[in-house]
Structure 1
């Protein structure tokens, strides 16, 4: 295996997915204390990123499963999930329930929620990966895919690590249920605006 390509793949993954660590930390904090939440989050992250890689590989071979014009509209996925989470927080606040208890009761995000956010947040990565895959050839592309999928596990470990550090865990326990919808809504709006969806780029 060419170590040069491995290094390039690791660098490309890190640059295009650094924001995922923040989202993963919030997901892990939301699922803290709930059995099976780590497994669901990791599964969702892998499914979402595998879908990104699959689309990029297919596009590199000439298939266009996801038209470029459709990518900005992926922002609707985290936007809707963020608004749903914000609505749940508002309902609980209105009902006078305690926020920390709610975190446990929620049970954390399901795998399909994580998949949707991961895919939407990485949708713009496809445009970066396609030319790299296309010029790397089948062998080089295989190295990229293997490194990417390995680093997804590292990203999940890092996100969980941050979410379980005492100081960070206390902050996320207190504010995570508010931060998560805000982050998801912000991601959704950024994807929509930067991609010019609905003419939002002015």
Structure 2
């Protein structure tokens, strides 16, 4: 085992899969400044509890993966690639309504919980990308590499909490990170997926097995076709979902704007005045016309009395 290489892989995979969690931690630490019950210690404990659940789930997935050869597990590296594409689509077609709904769901689930369980639950809910990355990574590990990964992750988790705590003291750093993270993180996920696929040798292994079972060595063509079809289908589906939700968000915003524009205080005020002017004498029509008509009637009455 090359300790330096394994340690570097552990550091890079942890950083890539937990960049978004850094902002969640910064949010918790910001809340702790106004919430006396949510202390930095409870935030750290909750983070470790939630991350432990993620590790346990990843180890269960790793145990299941041991029943089959390790090479095809490398195809799970396509998941981080698709995850990166999904995040890019979210960046290209943002939907404020969806984000608000997700925040409301998290707030509802966290309501009434103890502070530690609140942090842990949100950490687990935000850990789907971690599990999708750790399972194929663990399946490619040899010997004590998994132990190095896990120990490094727990050490870096404490460093992550410290960084998040320091970030809230430097708001300009947080703003810069938030500005560029949306672009950098998806690309990092794509790179991580490519790394897992290459490291697992899943494609050479599959090509060799296909060529052994068929004449003419069609392994490369078959895998290229299957991969292209799978990725294009998934990306097309994700694009359709994002476009549909984005369009729904835009329609909702447009409907709200139209409702606001349909309310015309000036027009309503003019209508009210017309009703008042004609209410006592049974006159209908525009207020100005009613006033002119009433004035002519008064003049005619005065002239007839003079005569």
Higher RCO, Cα 8 Å, sep 6+: 1
| TM-score of the superposed pair, with normalisation by structure 2 | 0.41
Residue from 57, 60, 63 that aligns with 1:58: 60
Name structure 2 gaps, 5 residues minimum.
66-100, 176-234, 245-307
Deviations 1:22-63 (A, max 9, x none): 111110010116366111100111111111111111210118
1:77–1:120: 8 Å Cα contact kept in structure 2? no
Partner of 2:162: 157
Matched, 1:117 2:142: no
Structure 1 segments, 4+ long, off by >6 Å, are 166-169
Q: CA deviation at 1:112?
A: 0.8
In the alignment, the residues of structure 1 paired with residue 102 and residue 52 of structure 2 have an alpha-carbon distance, to the nearest angstrom, of: 17
Matched, 1:13 2:18: no
Partner of 2:105: 80
2:38–2:115: 8 Å Cα contact kept in structure 1? no
Partner of 1:100: none
Against the structure 1 CA distance between its residues 35 and 124, is the aligned structure 2 distance closer, same or farther, given a 3 Å change threshold?
Answer: closer
CA RMSD of aligned residues (A): 3.7
Against the structure 1 CA distance between its residues 129 and 81, is the aligned structure 2 distance closer, same or farther, given a 3 Å change threshold?
Answer: same
Matches for 1:108-147 after TM superposition, within 5 Å: 110-147=115-152
1:46–1:115: 8 Å Cα contact kept in structure 2? yes
| TM-score of the superposed pair, with normalisation by structure 1 | 0.60
In the alignment, the residues of structure 2 paired with residue 62 and residue 131 of structure 1 have an alpha-carbon distance, to the nearest angstrom, of: 11
Deviations 1:1-34 (A, max 9, x none): 7111001100000011101111111100101163
Against the structure 1 CA distance between its residues 84 and 60, is the aligned structure 2 distance closer, same or farther, given a 3 Å change threshold?
Answer: closer
2:29–2:164: 8 Å Cα contact kept in structure 1? yes
Against the structure 1 CA distance between its residues 166 and 10, is the aligned structure 2 distance closer, same or farther, given a 3 Å change threshold?
Answer: closer
Larger Rg: 2
2:46–2:119: 8 Å Cα contact kept in structure 1? yes
Matched, 1:38 2:40: yes
Against the structure 1 CA distance between its residues 127 and 112, is the aligned structure 2 distance closer, same or farther, given a 3 Å change threshold?
Answer: same
In the alignment, the residues of structure 2 paired with residue 158 and residue 124 of structure 1 have an alpha-carbon distance, to the nearest angstrom, of: 21
Q: CA deviation at 1:84?
A: 7.0
2:31–2:38: 8 Å Cα contact kept in structure 1? no
Count of residues paired in the alignment: 146
1:41–1:110: 8 Å Cα contact kept in structure 2? yes
Q: CA deviation at 1:82?
A: 3.1
1:28–1:160: 8 Å Cα contact kept in structure 2? yes
Matched, 1:49 2:74: no
1:9–1:147: 8 Å Cα contact kept in structure 2? yes
Q: CA deviation at 1:164?
A: 2.6
Against the structure 1 CA distance between its residues 2 and 79, is the aligned structure 2 distance closer, same or farther, given a 3 Å change threshold?
Answer: farther
